[in-house]
């Protein structure tokens, strides 16, 4: 894989990941762009001990443009996009409308004695999986999935080294039902200046388990699921895909490496190669459930940059809000108000349906 770093017209970084070593990436960005926006605000919620990002510039971000105006397609003589090249394999660039960035304008003051405000230090990147606007991740060849995994590992390592970054999150949103604003196949990477609330909960549970048993909680849960087998959807030598016994979403699968690893950079070549075929099979099973494209979120859970790395266990959480061909799972009163999920489909039934797909 060849890695080429360049700059867009407004100074944002663009990185090409090419599968051919002789690829030449010298096309300049010929657009006239305003400077990138300053970092957002982070406001502390003392009632939940959590940070909330306030990024008002994102209100004007691009929203569902037609295919001939897609900013993620390659540039042409008649239309300039975020990707100056005429074609590409995988491209990663700094988000033009970031929730977090390194561009700190000032230090805001607290709005109350209980609500600290600080700059939204971090970074947000867009990961374009292919230059084909009409493709989907499920239609990529296994070799391209390996390139994507290598690119995400590269970005995880690079963003983990930035000042103030505490956690790196790689993810893909697919489908307007999920809230996608660009149809082109792409994912994102967020570098947070704190450990996220979900990860803090997982680490706290893992720490209690380790103190009690000496084991790694996720590794022990994975071993138990593999031994039970009734919720396992697919597996190979290095990975297992299973529906969690307490799945929150109608269709939710964890894809986990058998060897505990804290993050994507820690995966070996054999593990990276083995991920693609299994994951592509799983995505196709999702689409086959109702014979239509399944909206989903694919979220890589990685250990924090500095703390509790020994408690983490890399895994991908794939889930959909679709519970039937004509029904979606909405986060209503119990879920949104109290964080208590109510699942309409038994995890064992979901596993059966996915295995049959």
Instruction: Determine contact, residues 222/167, Cβ cutoff 8 Å.
Output: no
Domain region containing 108: 2-194
The burial of 256, by beta-carbon neighbours within 10 Å (0-12 exposed, 13-18 middle, 19 or more buried), is given as buried
Same domain, 169 and 252: no
Instruction: Determine contact, residues 16/89, Cβ cutoff 8 Å.
Output: yes
Same domain, 77 and 221: no
Residue 207: phi, psi to the nearest 5? -65, -40
**What are the distances in angstroms from CA 319 to CA 47, 97, 104, 139, 174?**
29, 26, 35, 18, 11
Same domain, 225 and 322: yes
Closest CA to 182 of 55, 96, 100, 102: 96
Q: Is 291 left (phi over 0), alpha (psi -120 to 50) or beta?
A: left
Same domain, 71 and 181: yes
3-state secondary structure of 117: strand
Same domain, 179 and 208: no
Same domain, 94 and 234: no
3-state secondary structure of 225: helix
Same domain, 203 and 342: yes
Gap between the Cα atoms of 19 and 90, Å rounded: 9
Gap between the Cα atoms of 207 and 309, Å rounded: 11
275, two tokens: 């991920």
Gap between the Cα atoms of 93 and 71, Å rounded: 12
Same domain, 203 and 182: no
Number of domains into which the chain is organized: 2
Q: pLDDT under 70 in the chain at which residues?
A: none
Gap between the Cα atoms of 58 and 286, Å rounded: 31
Domain final residue, candidates 137, 159, 194: 194
Q: Would you state the pLDDT for residue 107?
A: 74
Instruction: Determine contact, residues 274/239, Cβ cutoff 8 Å.
Output: yes
Same domain, 71 and 114: yes
**What are the distances in angstroms from CA 124 to CA 72, 143, 148, 178, 239?**
15, 25, 17, 19, 28
Gap between the Cα atoms of 262 and 146, Å rounded: 19
Same domain, 138 and 281: no
Q: Would you state the pLDDT for residue 232?
A: 98
Gap between the Cα atoms of 19 and 354, Å rounded: 32
Same domain, 274 and 187: no
Gap between the Cα atoms of 345 and 342, Å rounded: 9
135, two tokens: 């493709």
Domain final residue, candidates 142, 174, 194: 194
Q: Would you state the pLDDT for residue 180?
A: 95
| CATH number of the domain encompassing residue 9 | 3.30.428.10
pTM of the model: 0.97
Task: For residue 186, indicate whether it is catalytic.
Answer: yes
Same domain, 185 and 212: no
Instruction: Determine contact, residues 188/128, Cβ cutoff 8 Å.
Output: no
Instruction: Determine contact, residues 50/43, Cβ cutoff 8 Å.
Output: no
| Active-site position among 184, 186, 301, 313 | 186
Q: Would you state the pLDDT for residue 357?
A: 82
Instruction: Determine contact, residues 90/148, Cβ cutoff 8 Å.
Output: yes
**What are the distances in angstroms from CA 306 to CA 137, 150, 303, 353?**
31, 22, 9, 40
Domain final residue, candidates 130, 160, 194: 194
Closest CA to 207 of 218, 196, 198: 218
pLDDT in tens, 93-139: 999 999 999 998 777 777 899 999 999 999 999 999 999 999 999 99
pLDDT in tens, 135-162: 999 999 999 999 999 999 999 999 999 9
Gap between the Cα atoms of 279 and 303, Å rounded: 21
39, two tokens: 């970092």
């Amino acid at each position: 894989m060849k890695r080429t770093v360049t700059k867009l017209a407004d100074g944002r970084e663009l990185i090409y990941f090419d599968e051919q070593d002789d690829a030449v990436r010298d096309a300049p960005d010929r657009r006239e762009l305003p400077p990138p926006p300053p970092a957002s605000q982070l406001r502390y919620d003392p009632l939940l001990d959590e940070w909330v990002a306030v990024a008002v510039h994102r209100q004007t971000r691009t929203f569902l443009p037609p295919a001939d105006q897609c900013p993620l397609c390659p540039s042409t003589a008649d239309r300039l996009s975020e990707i100056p090249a005429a074609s590409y394999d995988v491209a990663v660039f700094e988000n033009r409308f970031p929730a977090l960035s390194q561009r700190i304008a000032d230090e805001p003051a607290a709005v109350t004695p209980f609500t600290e405000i600080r700059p939204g230090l971090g970074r947000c990147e867009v990961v374009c999986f292919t230059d084909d606007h009409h493709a989907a991740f499920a239609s990529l060849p296994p070799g391209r999935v390996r390139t994507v995994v290598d690119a995400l590992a590269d970005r995880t390592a690079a963003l983990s080294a930035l000042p103030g970054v505490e956690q790196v999150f790689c993810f893909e949103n697919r489908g307007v039902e999920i809230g996608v604003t660009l149809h082109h196949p792409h994912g994102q990477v967020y570098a947070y200046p704190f450990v996220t609330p979900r990860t803090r909960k997982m680490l706290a549970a893992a720490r209690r388990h380790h103190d009690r048993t000496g084991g790694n909680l996720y590794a022990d849960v994975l071993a138990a699921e593999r031994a039970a087998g009734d919720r396992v959807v697919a597996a190979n030598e290095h990975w297992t895909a299973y529906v969690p016994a307490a799945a929150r979403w109608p269709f939710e699968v964890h894809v986990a490496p058998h060897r505990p690893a804290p993050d994507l950079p820690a995966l070996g070549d054999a593990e990276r190669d083995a991920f693609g075929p299994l994951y592509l099979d799983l995505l196709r099973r999702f689409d086959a459930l109702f014979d239509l494209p399944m909206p989903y979120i694919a979220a890589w859970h990685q250990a924090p940059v500095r703390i509790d790395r020994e408690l983490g266990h890399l895994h991908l959480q794939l889930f959909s809000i679709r519970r039937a061909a004509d029904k979606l799972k909405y986060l209503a009163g119990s879920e949104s108000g109290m964080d208590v999920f109510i699942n309409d489909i038994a995890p064992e039934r979901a596993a059966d349906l996915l295995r049959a797909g």
